[in-house]
Each structure stands twice: as C-alpha cells, then as structure tokens.
Structure 1
Amino acid sequence: MHDIRLIRDNPEGFDAALARRGAAAQSANILALDEKRRAVSTQAQELLSRRNDASKAIGAAMGAGDKDKAEALKAEVARIKTDLPALEEQERALTAEQNDLLASLPNLPADDVPEGADEADNVEVSRWGTPREFSFTPQEHADLGPALGMDFETGAAISGARFTFLRGQMARLQRAIAQFMLDRQTGERGYTECAPPLLVKDEAMFGTGQLPKFAEDLFRTTDDRWLIPTAEVSLTNAVREQIIEDLSAPLRMTALTPCFRSEAGAAGKDTRGYIRQHQFDKVELVCVCRPDDWQAEHDHMVRSAELVLEALDLPYRKMLLCTGDMGFGAKKTFDLEVWLPGQSAYREISSISWCGDFQARRMNARYRPAGEKKPAFVHTLNGSGLAVGRTLVAVLENYQQEDGSVVVPDALRPWMGGIDRLVPAT
C-alpha cells in the first residue's frame, strides 16, 4: 500500500516510479478521489459539529423560554441526522475506492534497481564456485531421479500434474536438506524458528500483497481460507495490527513449511521434473525492522541464503532484479541462481526482497521509535533460505556419478543416518 501523503507531495515522482515498473500513471486518479473524499469528509465533520452545537443550544433556548428558537433548532438537528448518514456512507465508499486503487499498484522500485522489462535485463552482481567438469554427459534430475526414488508417475496419479511422490533415500535426502537449512538459519544466523499456520484468512493474504491481484495463483478452501504460497504470509502477518514497543533489534523469523501454488501465471514453464510444483517445501526467512536497518538486514538475509549454497558446495550467481522482474511487493530484490549441470544453466533457488513499508501499511504493522510518541510503520523483508525441492534438484545434478548414483554432500551426512550415497534401484 502506498502513502497518500507522498503522492500528494510529489505526484510526478510517483508516476515516474510507476512507469519504471511498466505501470500507467495513476496520481491524477488517486488525487481526484482523495480530493472528493476529503471534501465529503469535511462536509460531514461540519454537519456533525453543527449538530452538536445545535443540540447544546436547544437546552439554552428552552431555559430562556424561547420556544420558537428551540423548535427551529430541533428541526435543524433532525435534518442533520437525516443527511449525515448519507455523507458518511459516501465517505466510506470513496475511501474504499481509493484504497482499492492504491492496493492494486505495485511497490515503487528503489533508485538503484536497474530498469528493464523482464529477466533478460537482470544484472549479474557476482558468482561463487566453479561448475564441475564431468567425464560423462550429466543428466537432468528428471532423468536421473526416478531410479533413485523420485516418482513422478505416482504423484501425478494421486494428485495430477506437478505433484511428486518421493520414496526411501530420496525422501530422506529432502528431509536432510530441509533440516540442515533450518538448523543453519536458527543456530548460526539469528533467526527464530516458527511453526505457523498453513491456512490463512483473506486479511493475511492481502497484508503481504497476494490479494487481490494474485488470487488465481493460489489455492482456496471451501471455508474461504487460503493455503499459503510461502511462509512469508504467516510470518510477516505475525505483526499485523500491532505496535511494537521496542524494535531496536530486528525481528528475524524462519519456518520450514509446505507451500502451495496453482502456478496459473506460469503455464508451460518447467512442466517436466521437480522445479515447479504445486506443493513444495521451503525454509522461509522474514525480517521486521526499523526503516534505518533495512540495508543491513537485506545484506544479512542474502548472505544467510548464500552460506547454505556454499556449505553444500553448489556454484551460484547473485542477480539484481530489474524493475520488470521484481515481485509485486518488492522495492529491491536479489535472486540467487544455482548451477544445474544437467541443464547447463543457472536457475533461481532463492529470491530475497526488501519491501519497505509497503506490506506494513497493508497490515497496519508499526513500531514506536525511541523517544517519540507517534508510531511509525515497520519495514519488512523476506527470502528463501532456501527452496528445498530446488536444492534437492541441485544436489542431484551436481553430485551425480556416471553409474547413476548421487554422492551425499558432506554437510548433509549428519542428517542422513549413515547414507553417504543414493544408489539406483536394481
């Protein structure tokens, strides 16, 4: 959600920032609604004030024996009581219309975000690691995985396309990856482990920006709840409608949860394999902080994701997303892309975003700055630390052997119960 005061103060700047995201100018529409709403609000307040004054004057007129004046005042109060509800309803309708328009607009990009239309215009910031050289042609995970327990056919038979059934050593490896990530983020990076709800209300989805724009990408239950597309929704909404009295230390939260996405907006993309599923696990990172702390927290969150990849010795590159490729609620986003030798390409495995106060305004999440009485909106950040399924894919492809087996990375072996290699079924 956008601050109407900033739009009033600098409508041209607001429209210019929207234009960088490929959105049409909206300040004129917003300010026209705002002016109309404020005029109606002023009229309603004046009527209310006059009603109160007239009500008080009735008693004075009666006390002075001026019956005619008292009756005239009573008639005026009655007229105001008739007119006021209509004005109040008009104000509510205009406020809702203005808020709906503001809620439909994406966050404004930070000044240093490169302008661009899509992922082709993203900027590579750095690389880590050297892709392995194989003495054989490496396979993609979709070809390598079935013999190791990645059962696409059974998943599809049970639930349809983009569901997978993991068996035995493959299921154990996915659990090891998830536990390894969660333990790293809590034990070494300062995040508090949470176990949040997987079903949320409309207000929670609205708060983080999934609603109303992305309803078709979500799964909804028959009792009007939503399955979370990411734990970002539950974790970030943990501070909704609150005033945090002490935010001197950022609130860092993490959770390992299933995530559910209909992928309606990704038709035809990654239909083969385990990369884009309707149900997947992810270790999510969320931070709630003061406005002055966002940069340090963004750096910390990016590094928290990078360290997982480095511990697993998975080559990756860091990308600064352009204005046309960022998520709806983001002001600035870094993607980490892991090397997949089977595809001979880098693929996204983590997206880490600073949202400014965009989500906080939608949630009414505030804090009390030191020494000040008036609360201010918090800043929120979120990212993957990491997507578990995609990390599983990366391990399979990077650690595959010519005989079809997969060596378990050293960092994961404490969680593998003595299994150091995934071996094809005979």
Structure 2
Amino acid sequence: MLQVTFIKAHKEDIIARLAKRNIDATQMINDAIAFDEDRKALQTSLDNTKAESNALSKEIGNLFKSGETQKANLLKEKTTQLKDTIKNFEQELKDKVDALDELLYKIPNVPNPIVPAGNTDEDNEETFKEGDIPKLHDNALPHWELAKQYNIIDFELGNKITGAGFPVYIGKGARLQRALIAYFLDKNTAAGYTEYQVPHLVNEASGFGTGQLPDKEGQMYHVTADNLYLIPTAEVPATNIFRDTLLNESDLPITITGYTPCFRREAGSYGAHVRGLNRLHQFDKVEILRVEHPDNSYQALDSMVNHVKSILQDLKLPYRILRLCGGDLGFTSALTYDFEVFSTAQDRWLEVSSVSNFETFQANRLKLRFKNSDGKNELCHTLNGSALALPRILAGILENYQTEDGIKIPDVLVPYTGFEMIS
C-alpha cells in the first residue's frame, strides 16, 4: 500500500509510472489526496472540540467548588452538546479513514523506473540466457507421457481423489519430488537463509498484509467456516511473521526460506500449455524471503537473482531471465524477474521462479518498520522469490533428461534420490 505522504510528494511521477501498468491512476491519486485532506480537517475539528470540552469540564469543576451551581449546570448542558458533536466527528473520521484505506488498497505498487512499458508477457525483456538446449532422441515425449510410461505421476488418480490439478506422485516420482525440496532447502540454508516451517492456512489480516487480499481473493481457496485461506505461496505466512513489528536497524537483513504446498484456484484453462504439471491447483514450492534496509534492497534483489541462477546451473537446465513489463507485473511488485526453463519436449519456455522487490508496499500494509540510526521509525523493504517452484522444474528435468533408456537424474540430486535413473 502506498503512503499518502509519498503520493503527495510524488504525485505526477506516480501517475506516470503507474501508466506503465496501463492504468490511468489520475482519479485514484487525486481522490486519495482529497480524502486525506478531509481526514486531516476532521481530525483538527475533533481535536479542537475535545479541547473545548475538556476546558469546559475544568471550568465546571471550578464553578462547583466556588458555589456557582447555576452557571455550572448551564455549562454542563453545553458539554453534553459537545459530546454529541465529538461522537459525530469520530464517526465521520472513521468513515473517512476507512474510505481512504479502501482506496489505497486498490492502488497497485509503483513500478521501478527500469520496468519496461508493455501490455503482456510478450513485452517482457530478456536480460540473461544460459545453458545448452539438449538434442533429444526421435521418440522423445512430453512429461505427462513420461509420467504415465514410468508410473511416477498419476494425473487421473488425482482427478478421481480431488479433481483436475491435483496430481499423485508415485515411487521414484515421489522420491524425486522430495529430493528437490530437500536440495532447495539445503542450498538456501547454505546461502544464509534460516529455514522456517509455517502454517498452510492464514487469516484475513495476513492476506491483506502481503497484498493477496483484496486483489486475489478469487484465486485463493477460502475455508468459510473459519474465515481462513489456504496459502498461495509461503510468502504470505512467512512475511506475516513480521506484521505489526518494529525492528532494530541491526536486525536487518532478515533472510528466510521455507517449503510449503501451495494452493491456487486460478487454473482452469485448457490445452497443452496447461497440461500435466504446467499448471496445478496444488503444488510444492520452496521460497526465499528477505526483509531489508531500503538502502540495500536492490543489491539484495540482485543477490536473490544470482542465487536462483546458481540452482539452475547446478541442475544443468537451460534457462533465461525476464524483466517483467508493467502490464505483466504483479499488483504488489515494484520490480520482478521471472526465470524460465526451456522444455525441449514441449518446445517452449516454462516459468519456474519469480523474484520480486516490493519496496515499502507490503511493509506499509504490514506495519513492518525498523528504528533507523536517527531514532526514527522507517518502513522496511520486503523481497521474495521462488527457489524453486517444483512442478515445472520437475517437468523440465523429466523432458530434458530423458534418454531412450529412461530418465537420467541430475548429478546434484543423486545423493538425495539414491538412484541415477528412472527406467
């Protein structure tokens, strides 16, 4: 959520930068400023009325002490009227604050100046590419066919148990899945991230804190009886660890990693591009998260990008990095880099990670601050990234490592799987 002080100080720049998202934010920004001016005027009126009421109460006390009962009772009538006025001002102020907050919740984060303009993912900028695309044998198959051939993932069984988008991993498929999770966590903790195990359901306040609510409630599974939400990513519970928290500057940076299953309702389209593991309702992901000093957050973002690169290098998968354009940028992000792995059998790129800097956008919603060297409270910057999401990584491994004799396991994973081939 943007701060009103920031909006007032950078009004024209914010409108211009939000235009990169293909949004004309002029009316929203003007309304936010007007609501805040009304709020301040109401607060002043409320404070003045309270001061007047307090002064009269003191005067009434003195009049009673001096025996001037008639004058005191006349003033008591006025204080009764002032109390009603105060009550009305308090309600008007609450309504105005609620209206301002509701408006601010609808304004997306301001893109970093280096975010390219654009409408769709076709306008994203490729910033890096690495790895050789393997040449497969003539009978190479997409991962959903490999899964059936080697009995390692059963999509139909998952559909029977729950519905489409809930696969069942079997035997070496389940072992490979577990190996990837363990490897990612070990890689992240070796890089200095502290491992957390977090809840898989969150309350409404947590959803608002990281920006899933009210923007993405239709994409989250809602447990209505308890008003809880299944998490779409570990980012939500892990970041909310620090909701309503005042840190010391010396506490920064805070670095966290965690594995969770993730639940998303948005899957629903059809075709080969969402077949198999390409898009699921439930999937596993290992996340990395940082809480940073504002001066250091973009250096931290580069560090996270390099860390994810190192994982894909270890897996020896061909990949590329994209800087997302304004039209493809997430609601809460100021700058996002997507990682895509090339699926040779499908002849297409598959997104496997997004690494984002939210600057103060989430921290303002979370009330996540630190006390700076001047003793003043300042909003932190939050960042997060997938390191990594498993379904498309698994798809990339199955397809790119397939041979006529079976599927070879990447060398870095063999100590975790205990086998070198799926055959």
Q: TM-score, normalised by structure 1?
A: 0.95
Structure 2 counterpart of 1:408: 409
Structure 1 counterpart of 2:21: 21
SS in 2 for 1:355: strand
Following TM superposition, by how much is the alpha carbon of 1:163 offset from its aligned partner in structure 2, in angstroms?
A: 1.2
- Pick one of 335, 343, 352 that aligns with 1:332: 335
Cα-to-partner distance string for 1:35-81 (whole Å, 9 max, x where unaligned): 22222111111110100111111122334444443223211111111
Distance 2:10 2:182 in 1: 48
| 1:179 aligns to 2:182 (yes or no) | yes
Following TM superposition, by how much is the alpha carbon of 1:248 offset from its aligned partner in structure 2, in angstroms?
A: 5.2
Which residue identity does 2:121 align to in structure 1? E
Structure 2 counterpart of 1:422: 422
CA contact (8 A) 1:139 1:397 kept: yes
Which residue identity does 1:205 align to in structure 2? G
- Pick one of 57, 60, 67 that aligns with 2:62: 60
Following TM superposition, by how much is the alpha carbon of 1:305 offset from its aligned partner in structure 2, in angstroms?
A: 1.1
Distance 2:199 2:153 in 1: 28
Following TM superposition, by how much is the alpha carbon of 1:91 offset from its aligned partner in structure 2, in angstroms?
A: 0.5
Structure 2 counterpart of 1:2: 2
CA contact (8 A) 1:177 1:391 kept: no
SS in 1 for 2:350: strand
Distance 2:270 2:49 in 1: 59
CA contact (8 A) 2:136 2:400 kept: no
- Pick one of 91, 115, 118 that aligns with 1:116: 118
Structure 2 counterpart of 1:74: 76
SS in 1 for 2:398: helix
Which residue identity does 2:89 align to in structure 1? L
Distance 2:82 2:416 in 1: 73
Label 1:138 to 1:12 Cα distance change in 2 as closer, same or farther (>3 A): same
- Pick one of 374, 388, 391 that aligns with 2:390: 388
Task: Give the % identical residues.
Answer: 38
**Within 5 A, what are the aligned runs for 1:4-403?**
4-25=4-25, 26-148=28-150, 149-187=152-190, 189-221=191-223, 222-247=225-250, 249-263=252-266, 267-268=269-270, 270-370=273-373, 372-403=374-405
Distance 1:232 1:208 in 2: 8
CA contact (8 A) 1:244 1:366 kept: yes
Cα-to-partner distance string for 1:369-395 (whole Å, 9 max, x where unaligned): 12x222111100000000012211111
SS in 1 for 2:339: strand
Which residue identity does 2:412 align to in structure 1? A
Moved more, 375-384 or 139-148: 139-148
Task: Give the number of aligned pairs.
Answer: 418
CA contact (8 A) 2:364 2:379 kept: yes
Distance 2:286 2:29 in 1: 38
Cα-to-partner distance string for 1:155-208 (whole Å, 9 max, x where unaligned): 111111111111101111111111111111102x11000000111100001101
Distance 2:340 2:115 in 1: 18
Distance 2:396 2:365 in 1: 36
SS in 2 for 1:229: coil
SS in 2 for 1:31: helix
CA contact (8 A) 1:338 1:347 kept: yes
Distance 2:397 2:53 in 1: 73
CA contact (8 A) 1:40 1:90 kept: yes
CA contact (8 A) 2:294 2:380 kept: yes
Distance 2:107 2:186 in 1: 37
Please tell me the root mean square deviation across aligned C-alpha atoms, in Å: 1.4
Moved more, 38-47 or 354-363: 38-47
SS in 1 for 2:259: strand
Distance 1:242 1:249 in 2: 13
